[in-house]
Amino acid sequence: MSYKNKADRNYKNEYETYHASDEQKKNRAARNAARRKMMKDGAVKKGDGKDVHHTTAISKGGIKSRLKAVDASTNRSFDRNKKRGMVSEVSLRERKK
């Protein structure tokens, strides 16, 4: 949902209904752990403009071992379907099986 004025957005309600859920806390913890792992390996550092990319999205069952450092602009855009959902990361060949 887009807002014309920032003041129209109810951040407290958004946190209570979405960000505070157990599922989202686990997802956030997984993202933070992946970032820490990549920092320890020397692939990323604070302020370098890089994001930790899960080759398979967390929501699609991604695991910690399949990570790579990419530009933030690259990582924050995905192929979308007509309903604005993220396109499956399974190849067309594998979907036909």
Query: Could you tell me the pTM of the whole model?
Result: 0.67
Cβ neighbours, 10 Å, residue 58: 15
What pLDDT, on the 0 to 100 scale, is given for residue 50? Answer: 94
Give me the pLDDT at residue 35, please.
Answer: 93
CB crowding 29-57: b at 16 or more within 10 Å, else e: eeeeebbeebeeeeebeeeeebbbbbeee
Region of residue 61 (phi > 0: left; psi between -120 and 50: alpha; otherwise: beta): left
Sorted by where each begins, the domain ranges of the chain are 8-96
52: which strand partners?
Answer: 69
Per-residue pLDDT tens over the stretch 37-96: 999 999 999 999 999 988 887 777 777 778 889 998 887 777 778 887 777 666 666 666
| pLDDT at 16 (0 to 100) | 94
Residue 5 is predicted with a pLDDT of 85
